[in-house]
Structure 1
Amino acid sequence: MEKIRDAILSGDLAAVGGLDVPDHYRAVTVHADEVEMFAGLDTPDKDPRKSLHIEDVATPELGPGEALIAVMASAINYNTVWTSIFEPVDTFGFLRRYGKTSELAKRHDLPYHIVGSDLAGVVLRTGPGVGAWKPGDEVVAHCLSVELEHPDGHNDTMMDPEQRIWGFETNFGGLAEIALVKSNQLMPKPAHLTWEEAASPGLVNSTAYRQLVSRNGAAMKQGDTVLIWGASGGLGSYATQFALNGGATPVCVVSSPAKAEICRKMGAELIIDRSAEGYKFWSDENTQDPREWKRFGAKIRELTGGDDPDIVFEHPGRETFGASVFVAKRGGTIVTCASTSGFMHQYDNRYLWMHLKRIVGSHFANYREASEANRLIAKGKIHPTLSKVYALEDTGQAAYDVHRNAHQGKVGVLCLAPTEGLGVHDEEMRAKHINAINNFRGI
């Protein structure tokens, strides 16, 4: 790995293809024999630092249509947190089911799971049938893994019955020195970004793009009013940028003055600090309070000059979903991609059917959508929201901080890159956008 890293750092990328790929590499894993380690604990008390391991693992066999990537940097997503605390189920069930689908997929069914659904790095090897990429190419990877052996996946690959999230529902993820990906996960690394900056947008940027911009999601248009929950967070920070960049008006919901200031730095003007306003959408754990929905809707109209949201960008789930359905305008869209506060949603269906609203489910993105989202990053239209970077050895702490929501934007992890700040090729473009690139740093 040292020779590979040194070649990449020296800029001798043409030499990478001639170097031996090691039999083993360091990776972040969870273990199948530890899935009960947090039994009986409440979710907040489950500690990723105890379940995430740094260890040497065997380099997987390279199959057709695949590539091995030397990972310079990766990032933490909530799916890594879920994997680390074995909620809502342990991920070894995913690996067992995948392993049964083909002889090649059996490689993924192991007693350890290499996690991580983001990366920026350099192609080491490509398998048979790969023509678009070669050793030495600098790349980022999106996390959609598909087989495309069923007709349902050939209009929108997210509809493939064998669609999985790499590094969560497959093995050999990005929090490692080497990762195994399908070649149709790869995209060019933006030249003006460092390794850690380039690694951080992948999952959340693509997810927000499909959810908000794509015709498969809310199909946002110029002039739309978009209510964005958690607007300074990993997903919301990209939704806020897409709204601003696409001629819409974001109404950013945050939970502190510091988070409100982040939204202002991105260019948003309409901001609701839900903590300061004291919204309590639930009067107890079983009963919602419609009066609080109405108070929330009145605040939105106060800020917008009387407009209700055309689109509600939902991901908190249970805690906020009733309010989201209520405040969306007549004929509006509530688009959801997650349920971080709980999966069992409750809402008053009268406000949905009588006001002709739509609820749209959205999950990650297809290759075209991920590529378009990455292209906007590469053009400097959308910017990384990286706030802090950890060493690979400290991935457990990074996941712990995300689990406790003690972060803003995205949290990065250095894998082969020895320090931050490496990998930039377009210094002129970087200088043009440096303030926006650094909006979240140090927060």
Structure 2
Amino acid sequence: MTMTQQSTFKPGKGIGQPVGVAVLGMGTVGTEVVRLMDEYAEEFAARIGGPLELKGIAVSDLEKQRPGVPAELLTDDAMSLVEREDVDIVVEVIGGIDYPRRIVLAALNAGKSVVTANKALVAAHADELAEAADAAQVDLYFEAAVAAAIPVVGMLRRSLAGDQVQRISGIVNGTTNYILDAMTSTGATYDDALAEATRLGYAEADPTADVEGHDAASKAAILASLGFHTRVKFDDVHTEGITKVTADDIEAARKAGYTIKLLAICEKVTNDKGEESVNARVHPTLIPSEHPLASVKESYNAIYVDSEAAGSLMFYGNGAGGAPTASAVLGDLVGAARNKVHGGRAPGDNTYANLPIAEFGEVTSRYHIDMSVADRAGVLAELATKFADSDVSLRTLRQEEEERHSRARLVIVTHSAKESKLAQIVDELSQLDYVHEINSVIRLDG
């Protein structure tokens, strides 16, 4: 994650030597990690070249019953656990930022490799964690932090290391995809779809991080950093959630041949002087119904990558849940353990490009604008002139029936223009006396 990585080869423990593992957190993911470590112990030993030995599990509540887990493995002192000499790798599946940051940094500083599923931690403190890993010559793995079992981090770090990534877009939050898919397939309102997602366990009791786009923004920051070799943090990501998407928006999109998805979009932006920068954003997006991402249903995730040599690639699968996330964690654990046995380190991300972060207003967008206007002669011509005066061209303009006879509903799709220019014209439209209401503004992709 830093500009350069030290190249000193770190010798391994040797074939057959055990690798000590500490697991921090025993919620849904941690429980699966511990179970699978035991169930597939022989296979993991064969893949690694030595056995994994679980040295301890840090939990917040020692009184809670954990069937099948020896009590002597449990501790509520995570710091002491990670500093033990017999621990080689720390698996962090606690969640949150501040407390895990202290523990993970302590582990790295003590020479332990770290595997984490914590996207918020990585998005907020990637530089600091990477510098600590480099200084100690240990591994920092976080495949599970982006899309659980979907191997997108490894793809960007290794598989496309010889290519030029141009753009990354994807559905990286299962809760919001379930809600939007339910609204699309059943005609449900946002509130009804959210209630069903909560009942099925797709949405948390407090769904804010998901529905407001914060979870996806953390993942977008990680994807942009990996894809464009530039440090992008959570605060750099323009973020909008799905709470304002209505059933009318879904239906209008369908009529126009689009599907609404919450997309994380990461891309390079080139200005008029030919200077490059990086932009990452999360917002509801209309995508053509024939696009592969439009077919991603329920709580599934998918990441679509455009690169210069490989072309277009899509990675699809379960992006959340205990078992899929544990699969990604264990994949990282096997990789880190193999390095402990045989020596060396895995490739990390490299921020050599160090491109500036693009202002959101410099991004090129297209708008789908749904508005209610006065139903009188000349309004369409005035609107067309207004867009022309702002140097924004229209792709389509469609009039639909309004229940109130004095009003007309217009749906406008623009051609591409800078985000700042499009946002300005929407603001100006809302102030016109013949525009009664801007019902919604949703960006288009593709």
Q: Do they fold alike, i.e. is TM over 0.5?
A: no
TM-score by length of 1: 0.30
Which is greater in Rg? 2
TM-score by length of 2: 0.29
More strand by share: 2
